[in-house]
Structure 1
Amino acid sequence: MPFARFETVPEAEILGQAILAVTQSINYEMYRHLFEAGLKAYGFDTTIDPEKWYPLQMLLNIYKSFYDKPNASSNLVAVGMKVIEASPFPPEVDSVQKAVETLNYIYTVYVRNYEPGTEYEIKVISPDEIQIVDHTHFPHDLIYGYMFAIAKRFAPKGKHIIVTREYLNPENPDADGAIYYFKTK
């Protein structure tokens, strides 16, 4: 079911621990003013409590504020990478396949009260190729950062993983999700 990036139901919430990754990205100082303005617009101070739930729409609006600014794509990719770097994967997750298979679980840990169907569809095409269809409301570049960080963190020794993206709606990418492919070389 198509949906728009950056828009969710009012009751959807995200755990503060996930928001903290925004402040820990290597590019944080480039967009700090946007992040803090977004928090203040929702009546929050600039200190994030990792155990508190925040409106998901607030974070989506903050991400949306990045879009027309310099380095928007690299900033969102950097945040996405930090989210994965900071995510504690169980010890048994030791491969790209196992990591992507946990994406929906991780989503339910950090996001609650979201609409059904706004998750990931994962399909193992072959031992060297995995397809992930992203139906979340998060920006494509953020999700690309997730996927790139998974490939980097869980690539088999001596192998290289190429991550590519194909928009479900190429005419208007933000009107729907995207398909990400992991190909091991």
Structure 2
Amino acid sequence: MTRDTPSSQVEVYGRSVQALVDAMEFLTGKVQRVLASHGIASLDPEKWYPMSAVLDSFDDILKQVGPHTTRAIGLAIPKNAVFPPGIDSFESALLSLDQAYRMNHRGSGDIGSYRYQRTGELSAQMVCDNPYPCEFDQGIILALYGRFQPKGSYVLQIEHETADCRKTGAVACVYRLKW
């Protein structure tokens, strides 16, 4: 089923889609079948694919395999997707997340965003109003923390504000981060 949204005019860079395959190494055949069922028969990391097909593939994987796998896909994004140069800290990684998102999507249509706001020395708020699943966004944030873990910090807490969730029809998910 193809989405009838502005995302139908948007494409996703294949390296980002590759994270889906890498995260589900143990289910590669299943992922390839899901992608093929949405028109991505042979994934080439250097090509661009319709965002609607990628989102429909995410929906199927979420239904068939579950949210933990969707989080694992998010965890694989930073090592697959294109990111701007000069990232050297967790905060700069979070600040650059929206730019990286736009580097991996092209075309006309509203793709949403990632908005970072520092709320304290060791805390922040991230607003995600993109069409990807919550668990995917949380996986990206966790991967960035793992890669750029601040000195003296041993764990990242991601608290999903229950009042705001795309699963229940909200425009955005809001996460409170503490490290």
Question: When the two structures are superposed, what TM-score results if normalisation uses the length of structure 2?
Answer: 0.84
Instruction: Indicate whether 1:109 and 2:103 are aligned.
Output: yes
Rate the CA distance shift 1:69–1:178 in 2: closer, same or farther, 3 A: same
Q: Which amino acid aligns with 2:13?
A: L
Aligned match of 1:166: 161
2: distance between equivalents of 1:112 and 1:49?
16
Aligned match of 2:137: 143
Q: Aligned with 1:82: secondary structure?
A: helix
Aligned match of 1:40: 36
1:132/1:180 contact within 8 Å kept: yes
2: distance between equivalents of 1:182 and 1:149?
13
1:21/1:82 contact within 8 Å kept: yes
Aligned match of 2:47: 52
Name structure 2 gaps, 5 residues minimum. none
Aligned length: 175
1:20/1:48 contact within 8 Å kept: yes
2: distance between equivalents of 1:85 and 1:164?
24
1: distance between equivalents of 2:95 and 2:144?
11
Rate the CA distance shift 1:178–1:44 in 2: closer, same or farther, 3 A: closer
Instruction: Indicate whether 1:78 and 2:76 are aligned.
Output: no
- Correspondent of 2:177 among 164, 179, 182: 182
More helix by share: 2
Deviation at 1:178, TM superposition (A): 0.8
Identical amino acids, percent of aligned pairs: 22
1: distance between equivalents of 2:127 and 2:59?
21
What is the RMSD of the two structures over their aligned residues, measured on CA atoms? 2.5
1:8/1:57 contact within 8 Å kept: no
Q: Which amino acid aligns with 2:90?
A: V
2: distance between equivalents of 1:18 and 1:88?
8
Question: When the two structures are superposed, what TM-score results if normalisation uses the length of structure 1?
Answer: 0.82
Rate the CA distance shift 1:76–1:7 in 2: closer, same or farther, 3 A: farther
Name structure 1 gaps, 5 residues minimum. none
Pick 1 or 2: higher relative contact order, CA cutoff 8 A, min separation 6.
1
